[in-house]
Amino acid sequence: MSLVVYLAAAVLALSAAVLFRRPNTAVGKPSGLRNALTVSTCVAIALGAVVFLCSAPMTLAAVNDLTGVPNFGAPLTYGLLSAYSCSLLILLINWRGGPRERVRRLVLRCIAVYGPLIVAIVVLFALADARVERLNDLDTYYANTPGMREMIVLYLLGHTAAIVAMTVVCVRWGREVTGLLRAGLWLIFVGALLDLVGFQLTKYTAVVARWTGHDLDFLSTRVAPPMAALAALTCSAGFVLPRLLPAAVGHWRGLRDYRRLDPLWLRVGFVSTAPKPPSAWWQSPAERLHCREVAIHDALLALAPYFDDRVRERALSAALAEGRSAHQARVAAEAAMLAAAARRAAAHEEPLRTPSTGRLHATEVSGAGGLVELAQALGGSDAAGTMREGTVKAF
């Protein structure tokens, strides 16, 4: 069982670390709310990881040995679980947003409720007689012990209140939003249901069974822990998905466009005077793509004196004769003219006396789209098979 909860803790910790690495992925939020949302998300996920770490039997045994107090890990874990429940509510409050004063007031209310609850858990444990160490079945073993009984019920009720509130908010808010945000809310809803049914209901059932003289301990010791792990991972995916997926898609597109610019960069990069980036391994795909765009535009300016309208016109006529559209023909013609200009520059020929005064389509549009079109036309044209005197190593 320790392996299951340790794995869940590791995944949650990794999610928090990845999210913290990208603190500005929230879209459509003012910077203050975005920072609060990032912090509250990371805190909630990190607390979930710590709860699973502390609830593992191996960790409980180590904590008990370290403190010299049998079952000291119980109030520690239950207190952290209550803090985790509070953090989930605070996260939803920050995610929903609104006037800052209202957000602050609701956050303080959550703290005012769960703060005393955590104190009560510690006090009840201190007053109870729990001398026998129980690493796996503490909830059921001490279900009828004064002090411990109240502590167990209290932490379960606190967690139930948070999960029920989170479920209600997800259902209501899910009807108002669309896209990734709605998908994230439904993941949180599913995770909350798993928590309610798979963890809390089984815990309540096992404890009540002990109260009535029955033994259903397996629900608490075997069913509840993995269900809790699955519920926490599902909820965390719901919180993280709307915030990380847009950035991940942006990185993928940046890397894709960066690679698709290879034919163009390999052809013209030798004349670029743009400063090379200080390093490549640490840069994001978007940053690398921007550096390559700047370098290519610089190279196109350097090759402009070699642009020959006669080459462009012949290539344009040939492309139109092949049945290409006007736009495709234009890009193919400009690719042929560019390839010829690169060959002349690589051979150190003199610039043309009357170079072309027309602008390339790639320089008329913003973003990498125009350059990508030119690169693909250049890579698929006859010029791609010619000598690559100007070939350079891509950065």
Q: In 3-state terms, what secondary structure has residue 238?
A: helix
CB of 9 closer than 8 Å to CB of 45: no
pLDDT, position 387: 34
Residues 220 and 354 in one domain: no
What pLDDT digit, counting tens, does each position of 30-88 carry?
Answer: 444 457 777 888 888 888 889 988 888 889 999 999 999 999 999 999 999 999 999 98
Q: Is 211 exposed, middle or buried (0-12, 13-18, 19+ CB in 10 A)?
A: exposed
CB of 88 closer than 8 Å to CB of 124: no
How far apart CA 327 and CA 164 sit, in angstroms, is 57
Q: In 3-state terms, what secondary structure has residue 128?
A: coil
Backbone dihedral region for residue 29 (phi beyond 0: left; psi -120 to 50: alpha; all else: beta): beta
- CATH code of the domain in which 104 resides: 1.20.1070
Host domain of residue 77: 2-248
pLDDT higher than threshold 60 for residue 27: no
pLDDT higher than threshold 80 for residue 305: yes
C-alpha distances in angstroms, 170 versus 55, 162, 181, 312, 345? 27, 12, 10, 59, 62
What pLDDT digit, counting tens, does each position of 212-269 carry?
Answer: 999 999 999 999 988 988 888 888 888 878 777 777 787 888 889 989 999 998 988 8
Tokens representing residue 253 in the block: 């597109």
How far apart CA 279 and CA 66 sit, in angstroms, is 47
What pLDDT digit, counting tens, does each position of 273-291 carry?
Answer: 777 665 555 667 888 888 8
How far apart CA 161 and CA 146 sit, in angstroms, is 23
Residue with tokens 């500005």: 24
C-alpha distances in angstroms, 46 versus 216, 343, 352? 32, 57, 64
Nearest to 82 by CA among 5, 136, 154: 154
CB of 274 closer than 8 Å to CB of 294: yes
Residues 178 and 299 in one domain: no
Residues 62 and 107 in one domain: yes
Residues 45 and 97 in one domain: yes
pLDDT, position 282: 60
pLDDT, position 275: 73
Residues 6 and 153 in one domain: yes
Number of domains in the chain: 2
What pLDDT digit, counting tens, does each position of 356-384 carry?
Answer: 878 898 888 888 889 999 999 987 654 44
Count other C-beta atoms under 10 Å from residue 95's C-beta: 23
Is residue 395 situated within a structural domain? no
| Residue type, position 61, single letter | A
| Residue type, position 258, single letter | Y
Domain limit, last residue, from 191, 215, 248? 248
